[in-house]
Amino acid sequence: MELALAVALITAKVVIVTAILLILPIPLTWLERKIAGHIQQRLGPMRVGWHGVLQPVADGLKLLTKEDNIPVEADRRLFKLAPIISLVPPFVVFVAIPFGDSFSLLGAEITLYISDMNVGLLFIFAVAGLEVYGVIFGGWASNSKYALLGSLRCCAQLISYEIPMGFSVIGVVMLAQSMSLLDIVNAQADVWYVVYQPLGFFVFFVAGLAEAQRIPFDLAEAEGELGAGFHTEYSGMRFSFFMISEYVVMVTISVLCVILFFGGWNGFLIPLPPLIWFILKVGFFIYLFMWFRFTFPRYRYDQLMAIGWKVLLPLSLANILLTGLFIV
């Protein structure tokens, strides 16, 4: 009985988190276009609904009714599989991410996380790494040169920045002595880790920008030189799956920044409910991502590789050794 209840609760949580994540790209695309508009002294979308709030819904409907083109010489099976492979891992990452501590409902204690794994951080990196497969399959199966070049660039970029990203969180694990995200947040009740780990946070954030393929590191879809990168040949819903996964990755990076370095749902000065604090902080980071997009120019590919391998990697290694010395 108890087991059945636990399984039902987990299932309910999985459904709720999936639904939220699937809907989240709708407000986020609207927000991004509005921010873009106002940064560039334009209005942004205005026609559909109040200040264009229904624009993403209209776009979604349009994508749903778009023809699904598959190039003649494409590997059809891989071509159809790639968007789904690219969509699933960013969602699965959220299994290990806590949104708050717990609250009681009808006398029962309900936790605000799906699962508190003792290897949480490692699990997140392992699953997030799987996204590379969607990119390489999609690019290669299209049998188009733009797609192939885009997917190769994107893969090299993703794996290059995964290393500094992995190294930069080692300092946090050392301080918290745990890989469970819940323990990491609880350990930051007094001081946020960004105070002890400014270098770690810097490396993590820059690598996060690259992992989410956002400007200034959106080389994979440099529209001026590569068509649209690895999803050049995709259209309709399959194309939108790549877009949804990109937005979910952006949310994941923002959430990880908050949990690992900015105290998660721990408040600061103003007493607000923990969940509100959490959402505010995550919202700030999402805004930062969008702000960057319309502020910075894109790097060249050789610069991108040099930043990853020659700057961030030594910096993150130095951070590990310094933090270790400090702890010992």
Of residues 107 through 126, those in contact with another protein by CB under 8 A are 114-117, 121-122, 125
Binding residue (CB under 8 A) for another protein from 26, 32, 44, 94:
94
313 vs 318: CA distance, rounded Å? 9
Q: Is 47 helix (H, G, I), strand (E, B) or coil?
A: coil
Q: From the CB of 51, what's the least distance to another protein, in Å?
A: 27
**102-110, 205-213, 232-240, 265-273 -> range binding another protein (CB under 8 A):** 232-240
Q: Is 108 helix (H, G, I), strand (E, B) or coil?
A: strand
**82-90, 101-109, 215-223, 256-264 -> range binding another protein (CB under 8 A):** 82-90
Binding residue (CB under 8 A) for another protein from 141, 194, 203, 256:
141
Q: From the CB of 91, what's the least distance to another protein, in Å?
A: 5
Show the tokens assigned to 188.
């930051």
Show the tokens assigned to 243.
């877009």
Q: Is 196 in the site for another protein (CB under 8 A)?
A: no
Contact between 37 and 298 under an 8 Å Cβ cutoff? The reply is: no
CB closer to another protein out of 45 and 83 = 83
Q: N- to C-terminal Cα distance for the chain?
A: 48
Binding residue (CB under 8 A) for another protein from 31, 35, 133, 178:
178
Binding residue (CB under 8 A) for another protein from 18, 46, 195, 283:
18
Contact between 161 and 308 under an 8 Å Cβ cutoff? The reply is: yes
Q: Is 233 in the site for another protein (CB under 8 A)?
A: yes
191 vs 281: CA distance, rounded Å? 16
Q: Is 1 in the site for another protein (CB under 8 A)?
A: no
Binding residue (CB under 8 A) for another protein from 105, 269, 270, 325:
325
Write the DSSP symbol of residue 307: I
Using CA atoms, how far residue 291 sits from 190, 239, 287, in Å, is 30, 24, 6
Binding residue (CB under 8 A) for another protein from 30, 99, 146, 289:
146
Residues facing 103 on adjacent strands: 110
Q: What is the DSSP string of 266-285?
A: --BSB---HHHHHHHHHHHH
Q: Is 243 in the site for another protein (CB under 8 A)?
A: no
Binding residue (CB under 8 A) for another protein from 92, 199, 243, 272:
92
Number of residues that bind another protein (CB under 8 A): 85
Q: From the CB of 310, what's the least distance to another protein, in Å?
A: 6
Q: Which of 144, 186, 95, 161 is nearest to 309 (CA)?
A: 161
Residues in the chain, overall count: 328
Binding residue (CB under 8 A) for another protein from 8, 68, 195, 273:
68
CB closer to another protein out of 236 and 267 = 236
Binding residue (CB under 8 A) for another protein from 28, 33, 59, 91:
91
β 102-105/108-111 pair status: antiparallel
225 vs 111: CA distance, rounded Å? 48
